[in-house]
Amino acid sequence: MFSCIARPAIHLSRSFSTSVQSNARVAVLGASGGIGQPLSLLLKNSPLVSQLSLFDIAHTPGVAADLSHIETRAHVTGHLGPDQLGECLKGCEVVVIPAGVPRKPGMTRDDLFTTNATIVANLADACARHCPEAMICVIANPVNSTIPITSEVLKKHGVYNPNRVFGVTTLDIVRANTFVAELKGLDPARVNVPVIGGHAGKTIIPLISQCTPKVDFPQDQLAALTSRIQEAGTEVVKAKAGAGSATLSMAYAGARFVFSLLDAMNGKEGVVECSFVRSEETECTYFSTPLLLGKNGIEKNLGLGKLSPFEEKLVAEAMSELKGSIKKGEDFVKNMK
């Protein structure tokens, strides 16, 4: 009796490809959490994913069973606890790590360090053992430290490839696009604001001068807009009043980055996303800039581009905090037993 009702097409704009089919095996580590569940849903909806392996320390079989009933081609498996982590990662080409504890009101991303640093280090260790050539996309905060942690763990195993380790900062770009569009009455899907630096507070540097289409703001409005982009995560934490941090928008941003990466791995040309990666573009050893993605990860770092004097000042002011966060991550791995 339902034969006359057409199934709705799943259409998500920007990098949410629905036209190309591939056979990518993708793992989500932390799949039962506030980011992991909606992220896994978005990945399950994509024809770019053929195998979706979900891991967490609780509830994963239920999440996997729920998602497995969705009428898309990706085969879903659920893996519970450390003993099943290796099986989850076996053969995976892309690993996404949203695992960790969320921020609560009054907490900075750095306050999460001790707990999330250990979680990310253990997961990176498992990746090094079971899928050493996978693209690793880290969402777990503080990204400014968890990317150096991931890199140092991979180095210990002799499998580190800087072109395959990404700190997912895409939510900063998504927010910048949205806020600029709101102020200018534009379609946010057609706005692109590069965001460079890091992924916390003043290390988040939106390059409004490089926005497409070109936009102009008075200095006071530009300063307020920049501050809002930098503190947008705190805006959500406060609005949720202790119930968590940005999860739905982060899941969207994480999926956008993964789909861009999969597109590039499939041979699509001209795929560009910003990400926090090993870098020689500034005096910081890790820095987020626009990256041209390719079959093997980073094909070319596109650098900072031409900055306005206001943006140059933001970069200078971010350096000290960014260097400290990077060192904190590297030192954590050095001191691991």
DSSP 66-128: HHHTSSSS-EEEEEESGGGHHHHHTT-SEEEE--SPPP-TT--GGGGHHHHHHHHHHHHHHHH
Q: How many C-beta atoms lie closer than 10 Å to residue 185's C-beta? A: 6
Q: Choose the catalytic residue: 11, 75, 130, 199.
A: 199
CA distances from 332 to 138, 165, 199 (A): 17, 18, 19
Which residues lie across from 49 on neighbouring strands?
Answer: 24
SS3 for 243? coil
Element (H, E) at 130: helix 113-130
SS3 for 217? coil
Catalytic-residue membership of 199: yes
Regarding beta strands 94-97 and 24-29, do their DSSP bridges make them parallel or antiparallel, or are they unpaired?
A: parallel
Any idea which residues carry the catalytic annotation?
199
